């Protein structure tokens, strides 16, 4: 491990996946450079520490700006051949630069996550912690809708028995050995918030307040957040399949009750014979069958993606 003999000269890398971030990139780089210089002046990290921007197939001038920023000795750039999504872009940065640092810190390029806690994360790493999760203290800055949908997401993940850190996104410090272990995972459907807790090793948490976005717009609208949540559930839990079994059993009980009700109605009430006992179960069972087939289809689709073992990303350019 780099810096193993002298823990005061740790090499730390900060990895930022970027997609169409031209409006905020220069400001982000400036703030992070100031933070890195301050940590170097305090002798908490070595002068070889760096910031790595990963361009996830941006359609604006993100890569051109990254190329200009790499004139600084503390900034590196990685350009992927196309847009592969946030999780794959983050993984590309972690795996590419892991050998150059004792630990890597992942953070989003909009810097809504407070970088002032990076010092505390490094201190915990120096104390022997392998994974330091940065967790939001509260969600007062979120809209009512976003706050409650996020709460629902974490409760649902807990219900599905997925090991996930509450109010934690992808802002974390991982040691070199943790990322080396992460490289052993060959999953195509990535959900790093679920994978990294499963790796194990020592862990701790730091808390921060989320800031307003300085410029640009969120790359995770509700549609993408919903897709991300569903991917996390189906990648780490077979509970939806177990729910299918439960629903099937409940439908079986319901059909028995309906049959009893239909027989009682036939002998004691004036109804059109056969209508109630035919139409209602037909619609109900048809809906349940489609719902169950949809869930099973999602898992079959994931199996299809995994067995092909296609590469998760290709690197187009790299600037060190």
Same structural domain, 33 and 150 = yes
Same structural domain, 64 and 15 = yes
Q: Check which CATH number belongs to the domain holding 127 and give it.
A: 3.90.550.10
> Would you say residue 10 has pLDDT above 60?
yes
Same structural domain, 67 and 146 = yes
Q: Which of 11-20, 60-69, 287-296 has the lowest mean pLDDT?
A: 287-296
Same structural domain, 192 and 277 = no
pLDDT of 6 reads: 44
Residue-wise pLDDT tens digits, 55-100: 998 998 999 999 999 998 999 999 999 888 888 899 999 999 999 9
pLDDT of 309 reads: 72
Same structural domain, 187 and 265 = no
Q: Give the chain as a 3 state SS string.
A: CCCCCCHHHECEEEEEEECCCCCCHHHHHHHHHHHHHHHHHCCCECCCCEEEEEECCCCCCHHHHHHHHCCCCCEEEEEECCCCCHHHHHHHHHHHHHHHCCEEEECCCCCCCCHHHHHHHHHHHHCCCCEEEEEECCCCCCCHHHHHHHHHHHHHHHHCCCCCCCCEEEEEEEEHHHHHHHCCCCCCCCCHHHHHHHHCCCEEEEEECCCCCCCCCCCCCHHHHHHHHHHHHHHHCCHHHHHHHHHHHHHHHHHHHHHHHHHHHHHHCCCCCCHHHHHHHHHHHHHHHHHHHHHHHHHHHHHHHHHHCCCCCCEEEEEC
**Any domain includes 93:** yes
Confidence of residue 4 (pLDDT cuts 50, 70, 90): very low
pLDDT of 217 reads: 57
Higher pLDDT, 157 or 126: 126
Q: Which of 31-45, 196-210, 265-279 has the lowest mean pLDDT?
A: 265-279
Same structural domain, 295 and 315 = no
Same structural domain, 32 and 146 = yes
**Any domain includes 115:** yes
What is the mean pLDDT of the segment spanning 90-112?
91
* Domain extent at residue 131: 7-219+311-319
């Amino acid at each position: 491990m780099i810096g193993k003999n002298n823990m005061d000269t740790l090499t730390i890398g900060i990895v930022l996946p970027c997609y169409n971030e031209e409006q905020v990139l220069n400001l982000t780089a400036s703030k992070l450079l100031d933070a890195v210089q301050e940590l170097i002046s305090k002798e908490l990290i070595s002068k070889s520490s760096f910031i790595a921007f990963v361009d996830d197939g941006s359609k604006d001038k993100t890569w051109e700006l990254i190329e200009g920023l790499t004139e600084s000795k503390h900034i590196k750039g990685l350009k992927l051949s196309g847009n592969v999504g946030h999780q794959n872009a983050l993984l590309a940065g972690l795996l590419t630069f892991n050998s150059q640092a004792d630990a890597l810190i992942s953070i989003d390029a909009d810097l809504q996550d407070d970088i002032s806690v990076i010092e505390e994360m490094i201190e915990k790493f120096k104390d022997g912690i392998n994974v330091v999760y940065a967790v939001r203290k509260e969600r007062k800055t979120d809209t009512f809708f976003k706050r409650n949908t996020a709460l629902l997401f974490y409760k649902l993940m807990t219900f599905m028995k997925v090991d996930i850190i509450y109010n934690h996104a992808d802002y974390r410090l991982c040691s070199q050995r943790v990322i080396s272990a992460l490289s052993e995972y060959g999953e195509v459907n990535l959900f790093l918030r679920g994978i990294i807790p499963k790796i194990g090793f020592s862990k701790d948490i730091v808390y921060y307040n989320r800031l307003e976005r300085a410029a640009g717009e969120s790359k995770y609208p509700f549609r993408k957040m919903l897709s991300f949540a569903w991917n996390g559930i189906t990648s780490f839990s077979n509970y939806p399949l177990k729910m299918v079994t439960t629903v099937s059993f409940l439908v079986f009980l319901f059909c028995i009750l309906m049959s009893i009700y239909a027989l009682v109605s036939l002998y004691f009430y004036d109804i059109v014979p056969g209508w109630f006992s035919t139409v209602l179960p037909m619609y109900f069972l048809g809906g349940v069958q489609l719902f169950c087939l949809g869930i099973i289809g999602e898992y079959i689709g994931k199996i299809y993606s995994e067995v092909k073992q296609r590469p998760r990303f290709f690197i187009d350019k790299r600037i060190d």
